[in-house]
A and B are shown apart, each in its own frame.
Chain A
Amino acid sequence: MTNSGSLPARLIRLLHAVEDGILILLLTAMLLLGVTQILLRNVFDSGLLWAGPLLRVMLLWVGLLGAMVASRYDKHIGIDVLSRLAGEKWRPWLRIATDLFAGLVCVIVAFYAGRFVLDEFTYATPGFAGIPAWMLEIVIPLAFGVIALRYLISSGMQLQRGLKGSIRV
C-alpha cells in the first residue's frame, strides 16, 4: 500500500494488531471458560451462572471479529462464477462494482445497527450479570463499519488504478 514506515501504514498495522489481539484473546478465553464450565458441572456439580450467556456473546464477537479480519484478506464467502469467465480486462471493473456494493450495504447495516445500539443505550436495557446490553451489541455496528470501510477503500483504490490505466490482476 504505502511505504511501510509512514504514519498511515503504521496506524493500519496497529489496527490489525489490535483486531488480531482481541480476536485471539477472546477465542482463548472462550476455550478456557467452556472447559471450566464442563469441569465445574461434571466434577464439582456446580457452575458459573453467567458463563452461558457470556460464552454466547463471545461467539458473536469472535464471529464478527473474524469477519472483520476476513474482509482484510478478502476471504469472504462468495460465488464468483461470472467474474471467472469475464476475463482479465473486465475483472477489475467487476471487483470495483461488487466491492462498492458490499461497502454501501455494510454502511447501511452499520448505521441501523448503530441506531439500535443507541436505543438500547438510551433506555439502559439490561444485558446480563449487570452488563448493559449495548456493550454486548456494540460489536455489530463496529464490525459492519470496519468491513464497510475496507470494501469502500478497496473499491476506491481499484478505481484509482483503473483510471490510471494501470490495472493488472
Chain B
Amino acid sequence: MSALAGLGLLLLALLGAPLFAVIVAGAMLGFLRQDIDLSVIGIEIYRLAEMPVLLAIPMFTLAGYILGESQAPRRLVRISNLLLGWLPGGLAIVALAACALFTAFTGASGVTIVALGALLYPALKQAGYPEKFNLGLITTAGSLGLLFAPSLPLILYAVVAQQMTLERPVNIDDLFIAGILPGILMVVLLSVWSGWKHRHSWKRQANFQSWREAKAAVMDAAWEIPLPFLVLGGIYGGYIAVSEAAALTAFYVLVVEVFIRREIPLGRLPGLMREAMIMVGGIIIILGVSLASTNYMIDAEIPTRVFETIREHIDSRLAFLILLNIFLLGLGMMLDIFSAIVIMIPLILPIAMGYGIDPLHLGIIFLANMQLGYFTPPVGMNLFIASYRFEKPVWDIYKSTLPFFFILLAAVLIITYWPALSLALL
C-alpha cells in the first residue's frame, strides 16, 4: 500500500505536479500511518520562523535581481577584463570569473545567465570566439560559483544539515571555507581548457590596455567594488551573521543602483521585488513542507533502514562514493538544486556519515554534483534560460555544453575522491 502510494506520488511529480504538493502529500501519508494528527503539518511549517539564517534567501535573491537589472554586470566584466583579459583565452576566462563572482553573491537562481550572458555572448563573438564555444561557455558559467560564499545553496545545505542532530554539526562558516578550493578548481580547469583551446588565436591584443583604462574601470565600479569585502569581511570579522550580511547586501545594492546611480527607476522596484519573491516563495514553501517530511523520515528511522540495506551490498567507502556520484548525477538531471538539497540531504547525510564521510565534504560533493545538473537535460534550468535568451534550440545548447560538462565532471570526481581539497583549509 505505502509503496503504491509512493509510486503514485513519484509519478505525479514526474508528470509536473508542483513538488511542494508531492512532498507534503508524502509527509501526510506518513503521519497518517503513524496515527499522528495532521495538524502537525502546520506546526512543522511554522518552524520556518525559527531559523534566522533563512532571511538570507529573500535578501540575496533580491540583491541578485536588482544587480541583474542594473548596469553592474557591465562594470563587473570591465573590471574582470582589466585583471584577466591579458591571459590566453582572456575573454573566456573573464567570463568564467565574472559569472562565478556574480553567482556567489546572488544565489543561484539563473539570474547570472540573463544578466551576464547578454553582455558576454556578443563580446565573445566580437573577439572571434566560435559560436558553439560561446554558448557552451556561458551556459556552463551560469552555475559556476555556487561553491563560493555566500551562495544560497551553501547556506541552504547548512540549514538542512543543522536540522538533523549530528555528532558534528555543520557550521555555515566552515562550509564556506570548505567550498573555496573546490570552487577554484572548477574555475581553473575551465579557464585552462579555454586558454588551451584558443592558444593559437591569442593575439596579445588587449594585454594591459593602459593605466587610464585601468583607472577608469576602477572608478566606474567604485560603488560595487567594496561589496564583497564588506560582506565577507563582516562575516569573518565576526561583526554580522550571514543573514545580516544578506540584508546589508540587498540594502546596499538597492541604494546604489536605484538611488545613487539611478539605473533602475523607482517604479520598477515593486515589480522586481515581486519577481524575486516568486522565486523565493517557490523555495521557501518546499523547504517548509520538507521540514515535515524530514521529521517523519527521522521518526520512522528511514535513513537508518536505507543505510542498513545499502550496507549489506556495499561495504567500502569508495564504492559508496561511486554510487553516490552516479545517483547525484541522475538526481541533478531531474531536480533543481534547492529542492534536491531539502529533499535528499536528510536521507543522504546520515547514510554518508555511516560511511565515515565528513558532513562538510558531503555538502561540497552534493553541490558540485548538482551544479552539473543545471545544464544536463532533460530539465537543466540553465539550458532553457540560455535557449530562451539566445534564441537557440535547447538541443544546440546541450551539444555546446558537452566539453564543459566533461571538464566539470572531472572536477566533481576530484572533489569527491580527494576530501582534503574540501577540508584542508579548515
Contact = CB atoms under 8 A, between A and B. Distances in A.
A159 interface: no
A113 B42 contact: yes
A61 to B, nearest CB: 9
A135 to B, nearest CB: 12
B55 A30 contact: yes
Interface residues of A, number: 64
Contacts of A137: 42, 46
A76 B49 contact: no
B18 A77 contact: yes
A140 B24 CA distance: 13
A141 interface: yes
Given A42-B239, A59-B54, A94-B15, A113 B250 contact: no
B17 A102 contact: yes
A79 B62 contact: no
A106 B340 CA distance: 22
Nearest to A86: B15
Nearest to A20: B274
Contacts of B19: 76-79
A98 B17 contact: yes
Given A63-B288, A69-B274, A79-B13, A27 B62 contact: yes
A81 B373 CA distance: 14
Contacts of B86: none
Given A69-B278, A77-B19, A77-B339, A34 B28 contact: no
Q: Which of B28, B52, B273, B277 has the most CB of A within 10 A?
A: B277
B44 to A, nearest CB: 10
Interface stretch (B213-221, B279-287, B303-311): B279-287
Nearest to B14: A82
A66 B281 contact: yes
Contact of A94 (B16, B250, B338, B379): B16
Contacts of A113: 39, 41-42, 45
Nearest to A117: B42
B315 interface: no
Interface string A46-83: 00000011011101101111111111010111111111
A77 B48 CA distance: 18
Contacts of A77: 18-20, 282-283, 286, 336, 338-339
Interface in A18-55: 20, 23-24, 27-28, 30-32, 34-35, 37-38, 42, 52-53, 55
Given A38-B247, A78-B19, A105 B24 contact: yes
Given A31-B254, A116-B43, A140-B46, A101 B58 contact: no
Interface in B30-50: 37-39, 41-43, 45-46, 48-50
Given A55-B55, A77-B339, A119-B39, A64 B284 contact: yes
A86 B11 CA distance: 13
B59 interface: yes
B58 A30 contact: yes
B321 interface: no
B281 A98 contact: no
A38 B230 CA distance: 13
B277 A78 contact: no
Contact of A141 (B42, B240, B335): B42
Given A42-B239, A108-B28, A62 B280 contact: yes
B111 interface: no
A35 B17 contact: no
A67 B57 CA distance: 14
A81 B48 contact: no
Interface string A96-132: 0110011001101100111111010000000000000
Given A24-B270, A59-B49, A79 B335 contact: yes
Interface of B: 11-21, 24-25, 28, 37-39, 41-43, 45-46, 48-52, 54-55, 57-59, 62, 239-240, 243-244, 247-248, 250-251, 254, 270, 273-274, 277-288, 334-336, 338-339, 378-379
The 7 A-B pairs of least Cβ separation, nearest first, read A66-B281, A63-B284, A34-B247, A113-B42, A116-B42, A67-B281, A80-B16
Interface of A: 20, 23-24, 27-28, 30-32, 34-35, 37-38, 42, 52-53, 55-57, 59-60, 62-71, 73, 75-84, 86, 94-95, 97-98, 101-102, 105-106, 108-109, 112-117, 119, 136-137, 140-141, 143
